[in-house]
Structure 1
């Protein structure tokens, strides 16, 4: 879950520095006067994340906060920037080849799909099952050729029904006004043991986020009619 929390604050800071000139110039000045440390330990500051989300909800030209609050945010930005640099290095040269050549650890039908940039229109949790309805979930095509134009085909409206669900964890905002039509931003999927898998999904709406993480044994994937679904569940 920590990796998805990092992806979320990275998303927030990218938007803040891209959209607000005053913040960007203030951070550049802070960076000149306060050199980056040689090493950081990542931590997720929920209060700071909420603070950034509220700023962004004001629009591109939000008013910068007082100096004391801004300095704390600049310190946090430096830490995230440190991991951004590590992430960039990780995907260069031989490291990229190693990542591609690594065996695929999530060898089940879910490995054919991607939730990034899809829309989570509804999810249901009941005992040891949970169901997600995604609009425009990406379906992988020719997986043997990364350069093939058909490697990813067009999105589909799909229902993912998970069984044998355990170890459910939640993080972030679960206010319904943010959950409706949130965007799938990042996800993690890996094998934890024979016949058991872990899935974690980060969704973002109005700069708020929530993460759902759980393990499961089987998944059933079927298409659903979004228009009929919308009329039935959303009116």
Structure 2
């Protein structure tokens, strides 16, 4: 069941979006900019951020890696000094990898990369900025996924990270409800971006466009929906309750071809 609160104020705010240099991250950044907000995006690639700044001069772009605790701490110090009115944090940085769980990983440290970025980045960024968000009665928007409800077995670690973010966001909402901070869980289905380039359309998987995601998401923000489930995300949440074995098997059928082949 989606929680409902007051409509989210969408103009005149100072917004930090992690991983905001590409994909849906960038789409949200540009939409918020269009609505009259001050927007800061972060990313790991300096050249991409420089190009983005050249194309959108009013956008603030800061190089920072959400997988690096020291860089997050430095980013938080800089943001609090340069943008004291910061009142929205959108945790959106993430990567998705296909994994074959049936073979030993050659890089055990690398096996945790998705966890460090997708989960560690959300937890550390939120903690590093929680004081200014509380002071400014702000909003936290965590981007989890429809795969928090039903995993895509070819991307098992990614799916697990999104389930973790969804759970964390629920707890965060309870802990901040008396501090004047809104906590929103945005749970996109498959969106047509570089991240989902390998996902097969059909076979039970429906991909929506970035424009469709923005339209649904901003309508839900205006309606005060705290758990936003665009497109197939709502269907997966329903099917998880109604027929979990069936919907899990359907996604496995769709994803089986994406599991990396074992090299002998």
More strand by share: 1
- Higher relative CO (Cα under 8 Å, sequence separation at least 6) belongs to 2
TM range (shorter): under 0.3
Q: TM-score, normalization: structure 2?
A: 0.22
More helix by share: 2
Q: TM-score, normalization: structure 1?
A: 0.24
